[in-house]
A and B are shown apart, each in its own frame.
Chain A
């Protein structure tokens, strides 16, 4: 009961209903597709870099509330970050989603993204929440292959 409430918090439902930065970037200098073969969730992430920082980041695609909200929250969190800052955040988010660190340190470091911490109680949904993150990492690294959660 309460685990379910932790998963589907107001903020998550809101980001699902009205995802932020849910658009293409016409002159994106990096773009990557992510795909979860398990469920068919699909996401495209667009990046616009300037002076080594993420100037703009957006996404499109289809997926469940968790994957959409996670992607939406991610775009908000990544703006203005350098590649290495983004990678650091990805590591912390990943640890939080998989429940590796339950001591609360990560929640400090991930800021607003802590709202996603309820996901770790639902192992089947971790991939939903991490898809956009894997995808943005492959976009940052300029990988040609589509990112997958497998």
Chain B
């Protein structure tokens, strides 16, 4: 932390990102809550949407709506080409080798369930092992537990240390001949920890084991290159990366996806249906049964375009500054303890206050216009690991400011006053 530098110029942000101009792109940020200007620090739950994304959704339903991959008419062709154009944008966004490696899903949860039920049921059997980490979101725990029940496999858990970092030596120790899949998060939603995923992939691949990464919290903060990481699957949600809800992506290496059976049956995922036998469609359509979230896919494409227009060195510098500034400022509050102090962190601060429950903190902050998450963050094992029932979590996006952090600090002082 660059404490000395930061305190010398508390009002100016050292990054060059023009935050005020960026904020104007997000209309919701201008609203008030309980008569106070909104301070939106719940980006880990979902991000706000820039105007181009809202416009894309509006334009789709106003001028372009039609079903895709079917009609011969003009609108159907238009909608199809817009939807497939969005797939191309997402391929570039994560730098997948091939377009058919981008499968549209409802979100990260569905992506992980897809791999568990398709890859898992085909390639895992009794006695096989799946490795996850102790900082997973429930969506990267429960699908594997369900698979374990179905095929008799076993879930193994890489522990985390007191800072909320994954213990790599323990991962090496857990890894064995029965290990058939590794599924870990890229960035922890509850702690903010950035996991050394390249190292995990390297170790797993040395044993010939594929790796799925839960990228839901990574894509809003870091440039992701699946070829550089060399992961086998990468799952993420649109709504956490400034796109619409109800759409997300599973990236999968084509060699693996080709060997996997369909996840759901229905329209669009077939090439020929008779009552005797059905032939499945090619990738990626084999995994996209039914009419998808067309507007959502197109809107997510617009989010990717928006993000591509930002300077990501500036974004990274600004987010690092926010995290350092906020960490320093709230650490000064009496009785406050930050949960998750990894060396490599994204813009997430989870904390507990002595004698004040996270829910009470959340309600009082809300009255000050500050939106945070209070609870277990769908990561109950993380709460158990740190011996707390719940935490308050402030999660930042590039449109947040130091001034907003000052408001958070002021609101936390109000909490202390109420519970004095």
Chain A residues with a Cβ under 8 A of chain B: 1, 3-4, 7-8, 13, 17, 38-42, 62-67, 122, 124-125, 128
Contact = CB atoms under 8 A, between A and B. Distances in A.
Contact of A65 (B374, B383, B419): B419
A8 B419 CA distance: 9
A42 B363 contact: no
B375 A38 contact: yes
A41 to B, nearest CB: 7
13 contacts: A1-B367, A4-B364, A4-B367, A8-B364, A13-B418, A39-B358, A39-B375, A40-B376, A41-B359, A41-B389, A64-B359, A122-B363, A128-B359
Contact of B389 (A4, A8, A17, A63): A63
Contacts of A63: 357, 359, 389
Interface in B375-390: 375-376, 380, 383, 389-390
Nearest to B383: A40
A7 B383 CA distance: 27
A65 B380 contact: no
Interface of B: 355-360, 363-364, 367, 374-376, 380, 383, 389-390, 418-419
A44 to B, nearest CB: 14
A39 B390 contact: yes
A125 B383 CA distance: 21
B154 to A, nearest CB: 26
A149 to B, nearest CB: 13
Given A64-B357, A65-B419, A3 B375 contact: no
Given A65-B359, A67-B359, A122-B363, 13 more contacts: A1-B367, A13-B418, A39-B358, A39-B359, A39-B374, A39-B376, A40-B389, A42-B389, A62-B389, A65-B356, A66-B359, A66-B360, A124-B363
Contacts of B367: 1, 3-4
B419 A13 contact: yes
A64 B418 contact: no
Q: Which has the most chain A C-beta neighbours within 10 Å: B355, B367, B389?
A: B389
Contacts, number: 51
Contacts of A13: 418-419
Contacts of A4: 363-364, 367, 418
A4 to B, nearest CB: 5
Nearest to B374: A39
Nearest to A17: B355
A51 to B, nearest CB: 37
Nearest to A124: B363
Contacts of B380: 40
A65 B376 contact: no
Contacts of B363: 4, 7, 122, 124-125
A146 to B, nearest CB: 15
Contacts of B376: 39-40
A149 B389 CA distance: 17
Pairs of residues from A and B, 3 with the lowest C-beta to C-beta distance, nearest first: A64-B357, A64-B359, A40-B376
A125 B364 CA distance: 12
A17 B420 CA distance: 11
Contacts of B358: 39, 64
A124 B360 CA distance: 11
Contacts of A125: 359, 363
Nearest to A8: B418
Contacts of A38: 375
A98 B358 CA distance: 22
Interface centre among A17, A63, A65, A125 (most CB of B within 10 A): A65
Nearest to A4: B367
